[in-house]
Amino acid sequence: SHKATFYIPSTLLDRLDDAWLDLRRIDRSIKKSNMVRAALEAALVDYAAKQEKSLLYQAIIGDASSKED
């Protein structure tokens, strides 16, 4: 594993914290790093399979292209 630093909105961090607390009620060993890794892996698998129809593409490019109209 490698340590990486990324900037994310505070509202997204709050949602991560909420989900982490929910999941820790089920399994105290859950770490936020594992959650971020799983979410990123799922987003990249979806992108590889669907490209422009993926959630990742739509969240980034789809929003940008709709603002240009």
List pLDDT tens digits, range 24-54. Answer: 999 999 999 999 999 999 999 999 999 999 9
Q: How many CA atoms lie within 13 A of 68 on its CB side?
A: 5
Q: Environment class of residue 43 by beta-carbon count within 10 Å: exposed (0-12), middle (13-18) or buried (19+)? A: middle
| pLDDT of 64 higher than 90 | no
Give 61's contacts (C-beta < 8 A, 6+ positions apart).
52
Q: What pTM does this model have? A: 0.81
| pLDDT of 12 higher than 80 | yes
